[in-house]
A and B are shown apart, each in its own frame.
Chain A
Amino acid sequence: MLMPEPDSAVLARRPQLVDALKRLIDPAGVIADSIALRAYENDGLTAYRQPPMIAVLPKDTAEVAAILRFCHQEGVKVVPRGSGTSLSGGALPLADGILLGLGKFNRILEIDYDNRCAVVQPGVPNLAISHAVAGRGFYYAPDPSSQIACSIGGNVAENSGGVHCLKYGLTTNNLLGLEIVLMTGEVLRIGGKHLDANGYDLMGILTGSEGLLGVVTEVTVRLLRKPETARALLAGFPSSEAAGQCVADVIAAGIIPAGMEMMDRPATHAVEDFVHAGYPMEAEALLIVELDGPEVEVDHLLSQVCAIAEANGATSQRVSSSEEERLLLWAGRKAAFPAIGRISPDYYCMDGTIPRSKLPQVLARMEELSLRYGLRVANVFHAGDGNLHPLIMYDANKPGELEAAESFGADILCLCVEVGGVLTGEHGVGVEKRDLMPQMFNDLDLNQQMRLKCAFDDKQLLNPGKVFPVLRRCAELGAMHIHRGQLPRPDLPHF
């Protein structure tokens, strides 16, 4: 993976930069020791490693602003980092950049039950919010599998989802307000406890911007009341077509379940050997459908879902009859990543979205690719919204396997785009899918996105080298020659 060429002039000034930062913020928050810097050399995409030039751990918004203002003046790059669980290399440091860790921003500032929201600092782990409000029966809905560890600021930056986002939305649908610091050090507050933007939806654009537009220093999230009950159905199917049709039929019946997850046979076997949840080993595809709400509603809808599964040839069905059993049915799905980790030295998690109707076709092509690359693959699938997570198994110690896994992964993502889907459903582009962006977007599309970046960060110092395959200077992107009376007539693409 090619990162922007480190700026030797900046590297040469490292000692002076360290001194200046120590004067700017609490010196305990400035890390320059090469051993200590290793702690930040990678995120959840472990194949890439690069220690930062310097790491800083500011303790408040004023310190963040001071650091960014200084870096903007000095022309030094900055990479924000929450908990470092990104699976796309979004928090991968730069050799000539400062890593800005938000770990000290770990307080819940306010819980406002009347307005059903909480104001939290960005370093607070996702699950900590739900824990803090559980006593009153509330929770924060988006639930990425990494929720014990990942920070809410990272969730905002990645627009993270979870198994319940079909019904309850992604991060972007569950935010009310943000405080952000621009690369210039300017502090801005967006939104609050009310709904909708006053002007352009800056919160909407910050969410999912992968740390390229601003540093998030405070987040106001919506809180929801926890449903009275939740129950899950586990159903086995003889084919992915049958399971996929079952999902389509559930939706056609007007039911939006709280969660609807699919696993293929290799994934089922891996997790069953690991957690012993009693999954049917003979099934080609396994479906977990969760319904939540009042007891009567859950019963009513579950009976409909069971009938739909039956009609689609389900070979086994099991409905949870207790909270323990529901959690057991989920345990396998939730342990899918570690279970694969147990049967393979390494695995590579992909994240494309496809129109659900294309699933059988995509799985068949994936099997061909698996044979061609000589690498096994298991699939877990957010079936309700078409978000596919193929897990490619490889051994990094075998020469060439990492590279093979990467090009297998790239082939899968290109396939997702080819059948009418997208490169990433929830993990972000980061460095991982950066060079695949032209599969989905042409130059005009990408230029427009980069111009937006320039409106926030004119020197392109915030997290450069992520998301965009080619960096263009803002001056070049902004150039327009209308004053000469002759607009270079763009070659209009046809759709």
Chain B
Amino acid sequence: MTNEISPTSAADLADAVCGALRDKAPLQIVGQGSKAGWGRPDQAMRRLSLARLSGIRSYEAAELVMTAGAGTLMSDIEPVLAAKNQQIAFEPADWGPLWGKPAGQGTIGGVLSCNLSGPRRFQAGAARDHFLGFTAVNGRGEVYKAGGPVVKNVTGYDLPKLLAGSFGTLSVLTDVTVKVLPRPEKQRSVLLFGQDPETANRAMTMALGSTHDISGACYLPMDLARRSHVDLIRNANKAVTALRIEGAGPSVEHRCTALRRMFGDAATEELHSMRSLAFWREIRDVATFMPDQETALWRLSVPPASGAVIAGRLASALPGCSWFLDWGGGLLWIAVPPVADIGAEKIRQSLVADGGHATLLRGPEVLRRSVPIIEPGALSQLLRRVKQAFDPAGILNPGRLSADW
């Protein structure tokens, strides 16, 4: 059985890593374990919990920065920022429910380590773009820091970028500093009903190439739209293309009008504030549309103008799958019924022509073991050397990202 260590300071944590090194006992690093179902099952012997390294250390709203212990729950951070009318702008998803876990469990360290982002990705960036600095313990048991406590900094290598999306395989984050931004005063979404996928993709391309500063653009085929809890989406009985606009009140109204004019008869409805908020939360968190725990869930990042074409290709190759597009076509979610290789071969093949990458987000454990999170191809040698530069003994989350390390 695995035993759990739960340090309360960076120094304690370093001791734990040194102990693991001495005993050659690899560590599994967990925030709350909300995303443990993602990626190759860990092969660690000890659990290192960040739960007690939590709490907001400092928050300077006017400087747009916040520092917190890596184990701080997002659900504890968000209200503190909201009280100053601010937010974490990259809209980190709450994916716990995708794996049948409760909502609201994600920690800031986990969000950064997985480089999460939401529908605003193409406009506001991902976790990487808001991660300013950190203190961490590397695989040698050394406490070190990188980045800085201010929003603009190029002193030394931008290690926060590298740690974002490293799935805890390079270092254990103890304290993190992120950029925070004002919450938009208002939001609305313009809806286009009944479009076929390629028409919808073109509409999103048009909208994103306009001056209307779109902050969300997604397409739900009819079967998925019917799963929404937002009345105007569910009751449409049609495929839905949604375009979100956020900002100052008069600007939102102006841009919505302009957008509707751009699409003429196709733009029939709008989602107003609370409906719009609820809808994009569903898109962000995905589980509403992909509830079936038995299916394998893939997340494909692709050139945005090609999203519908790739989706069409995969839909005919993988009978029974369901899918939708986010990021103006640049993000394809696809749930595949349990088949031999959960579509891995076909999905990764589908990206050869256009470029992009596919991540298996949910799937049966045996299959996750055979499908690595990443498929870095020509980059794999370099990635391995990068891993060794931080964790030469391979004791941090071994096997989580790659079968070999």
Contacts and interface: CB of A to CB of B under 8 A. Distances in A.
Given A194-B330, A207-B158, A482-B21, A382 B152 contact: yes
A149 B148 CA distance: 29
A426 B182 contact: no
Contacts of A441: 145, 156
Interface size class of A (residues with CB under 8 A): 35 or more
B166 A200 contact: yes
A198 interface: yes
A159 B105 CA distance: 34
A242 B264 CA distance: 48
B14 interface: yes
B14 to A, nearest CB: 5
Contacts of B121: 195-196
Contacts of B24: 482
Given A294-B251, A357-B63, A456 B209 contact: no
Nearest to A137: B211
Nearest to B355: A192
Nearest to B61: A252
A293 interface: yes
Task: Choose among A209, A300, A492 the residue with the greatest number of B CB atoms under 10 Å from its CB.
Answer: A492
B14 A228 contact: no
A251 interface: yes
B161 A204 contact: yes
Interface stretch (A41-49, A311-319, A325-333, A415-423): A415-423
Contact of B211 (A207, A213, A226, A296): A226
B165 A487 contact: no
Interface stretch (A51-59, A75-83, A442-450): A442-450
A454 interface: yes
B376 A199 contact: yes
Contact of A425 (B153, B249, B251): B153
Contacts of A202: 379, 382-383, 386
Interface string B341-379: 000000000000011110000000000000000111011
Interface in B276-302: 301-302
A297 B255 CA distance: 10
Interface stretch (A10-18, A168-176, A272-280): A168-176
A159 B18 CA distance: 35
B9 to A, nearest CB: 9
B301 A194 contact: yes
A114 interface: yes
B188 to A, nearest CB: 14
Contact of B158 (A192, A205, A489): A205
A200 B150 contact: no
Interface in A130-159: 137-138, 158-159
A385 B304 contact: no
Interface stretch (A99-107, A336-344, A348-356, A403-411): A348-356
A296 B376 contact: no
B156 A467 contact: yes
B27 to A, nearest CB: 14
Interface in A294-316: 294, 296-297, 300-301
Interface stretch (B70-78, B134-142, B230-238): B134-142
Given A444-B144, A454-B389, A482-B21, A495 B355 contact: no
B115 interface: yes
Interface residues of chain A: helix, strand, loop or mixed (majority) = loop
B195 interface: no
Interface string B298-317: 00011111000000000000
Interface stretch (B43-51, B91-99, B124-132, B266-274): B124-132
A113 interface: yes
A207 B161 contact: yes
B155 A424 contact: yes
Given A197-B165, A199-B383, A254-B183, A296 B251 contact: yes
Given A205-B161, A482-B21, A455 B150 contact: no
Contact of A437 (B10, B122, B156): B156
Given A197-B165, A426-B154, A455 B305 contact: no
Contact of B154 (A158, A189, A487, A494): A158
11 contacts: A200-B387, A248-B62, A251-B182, A382-B152, A385-B152, A424-B153, A441-B145, A445-B144, A449-B157, A480-B392, A495-B175
Given A173-B125, A440-B155, A480-B393, 13 more contacts: A113-B209, A172-B129, A195-B330, A197-B115, A198-B357, A198-B374, A208-B157, A227-B211, A294-B251, A382-B152, A427-B154, A447-B142, A494-B11
